Structure 1
């Protein structure tokens, strides 16, 4: 999603305070810089390495950037979705692009493609912020299906959502029978910061039907650019914001929707006592990660940070997850396409 117009308004005082603590001068950026594990961002999160190898590159005539979603694809490769309607296949070890497929809506128009999951048959479910929508695509980019969307979640005037504030995150819960999409910002009429997570249930050959909906409270001034399910059914949630002259705020939360109220039938959410929000626990504020020699092209509270909005789990063992993040450079010369390899203990 494009940050400049939206996130300046939503900038948070918290980001400003964070920036005052550690605007760090760093040495030359190292694409693929490797460091021993244990580089702690918090007691539960550490960063192994980062890579700028794909920054400002092209593949098969297509700009490699604007990365908004990641997913583990067939044979252990990575699928990386650009918000400019391009779906890349990447080598999981080197990140080198191996294929690209162009996506479009039913009229052949580009998507504002933000969320991605790979279904068990190898097809892709892709969310677009434009309407918003979720479509199923074949491996070669043909539209196979389109999921229903509640009227309230549609962009005004059709619904109550703000433009560029709809389906950013997309994930399957364990078992792949429940699909979950996270809105980035609040609906008109809901209290600022309370965003809705919509689910769909798989019904055999009939595809997906609308399921329960839950409410999640983001930190002041931040939105939700990505969500991914853990093997035990909880959620990793990214929260992010941007402040001009300061930089990005990026926080990683562990959230549990299992006891949250189904808000599908609740018109407005105002923090009422009878609505149980999704419980969340801060895992790390990424401003506290070691910079690992990274440099930033614009002010950042930590030069490692950029516009991070893609996330996927690439491996797990005994409560420890390997997590891959990526930043959306908005095809902007002062932003960077950067991949982050984290380890998370949940």
Structure 2
């Protein structure tokens, strides 16, 4: 969620003084995840809260909006969405002690800034030089164990501010720039009322088919694809499969849920909802776990994980607009609603990755929350067992 720190502090105050709003009516069942498989199921293993604003090697740990496991080292890599306001845009490595009995420890082992092609670090947006980035997601290349990371860019609020395009870049283990993925043309931010909305661009990338396919999702509907979700209706967001070289293999419409509760009428902020992460199943090139994250003033966060498939969905890559078009969206089935797990709190969960296989045969799933560097939020590591 790319809201400003000021917004989050104000929102947190509202959460402390408001009661839970009535939930919106549930959407009708979306059907099974696929024609031949049962939907995944999940149970809680445990959670761990990282100390707030932990100082690590001269940086402030926080804003963790993406996570992945490095098979080459056994460690995890986390991306911070600090846009170089506190320290240069960066990532962290850490050891997680996770097993069938829970999350025992989170020990950070390293941090590096991302580098521009010329070797410099990224500017803060306040510099106004068009060289800022908005880091959101990080994945470890299953072939090389180098890092692929996504950033949202910026659709400016004013005509005189620079447009910063979203990107998926490749980096070394020390953050050195190695290249970038060619993105679909409809991911481009334009000066017209087309393309991604502000702060709703790429927050989700994942490798599938043993590293041969890169799948990404925009967080919210494109401007030309229709309105954002509300209390009555959900929306369609685009999910794109590409080769490692950038060739588009297909683009599909994923159905995001409608808003789950009415906003506090005294809040100046409307709800935020979308897809901050998706994760390919290891053995099925068409199947994904999709994380939906919603924030509503007065009601807090709603975090749900769905089992979804592109199998049978309409390929919409040639459709300029989805508004009013008849398309078959991706099918999905609810895996878990974090409200049902008895966690210490529901945080701004934005990242997820597969962890080790458990003795039960289940696969562990690691979730991380972005604390927005706010004193009222937390960096929460949650481990689930997925069957």
TM-score (norm 1): 0.81
The equivalent residue for 2:294 is: 241
Within 1, Cα distance between the matches of 2:60 and 2:366?
21
With over 3 angstroms needed to count, the CA separation of the structure-2 counterparts of 1:86 and 1:258, relative to structure 1, is same
Distance in 1 (alpha carbons) for counterparts of 2:79 and 2:43: 25
Equivalences for residues 317-328 of structure 1 within 5 A: 320-328=362-370
In structure 1, runs of 5+ residues without a counterpart are: 9-14, 20-41, 295-303
2: CA distance, partners of 1:209 / 1:344: 32
1:232, CA displacement in angstroms?
2.7
Indicate how the Cα distance of structure 1 residues 43 and 101 shifts in structure 2: closer, same or farther if over 3 A, else same: closer
CA distance in 2 between partners of 1:157 and 1:265 (Å): 21
Q: What is the aligned partner in structure 1 of residue 102 from structure 2? A: none
Deviation at 1:320, TM superposition (A): 2.8
- The Cα shift of 1:43 comes to 9.6
Indicate whether 1:162 and 2:203 are aligned. no
- 2:357 & 2:329 partners in 1: Cα distance? 27
Aligned to 2:375: 333
The residue aligned with 1:16 is 21
Residue in 1 aligned with 2:241? Answer: 199
Deviations 1:147-186 (A, max 9, x none): 1122321223275111110110110013110001111000
Q: Aligned Cα RMSD in Å?
A: 2.3
The equivalent of 1:2 in structure 2 is: 2
Q: TM-score normalised to the size of structure 2? A: 0.72
1:3–1:242 Cα contact (<8 Å) kept: no
The structure 2 residue matched to 1:101, chosen from 96, 101, 112, is 112
Q: Which moved more, 1:159-168 or 1:101-110?
A: 101-110
Structure 2: how far apart are the matches of 1:43 and 1:77?
25
Deviation string 1:24-45 (CA, Å, 9 cap, x unpaired) is: xxxxxxxxxxxxxxxxxx9922
State the distance in 2 between where 1:288 and 1:148 align. Answer: 40
Give the conservation status (yes or no) of the 8 Å contact 2:288–2:307.
Answer: yes
Kindly indicate whether residue 204 of structure 2 is the aligned counterpart of residue 182 of structure 1.
no
Where does residue 216 of structure 1 map in the other structure? 254
Local SS of the residue matching 1:144? strand
The ranges of structure 1 where at least 4 consecutive aligned residues each deviate by more than 4 angstroms after the TM superposition are none
Q: Secondary structure at the match of 2:106?
A: coil
Q: Which residue of 2 aligns with 1:34?
A: none
Q: How far off is 1:271 after superposition?
A: 5.8
- Name the SS of the counterpart of 1:17 in structure 2: coil
Name the CA shift for 1:174/1:16 in 2 (closer, same or farther; >3 Å). Answer: farther
- In the TM superposition, 1:1-346 aligns within 5 A as 1-3=1-3, 16-18=21-23, 44-73=41-70, 74-84=72-82, 85-93=89-97, 94-106=105-117, 108-109=121-122, 110-119=132-141, 120-130=143-153, 131-157=165-191, 159-192=194-227, 193-202=235-244, 207-221=245-259, 222-233=273-284, 234-270=287-323, 272-273=325-326, 275-291=327-343, 294=344, 304-316=345-357, 320-345=362-387
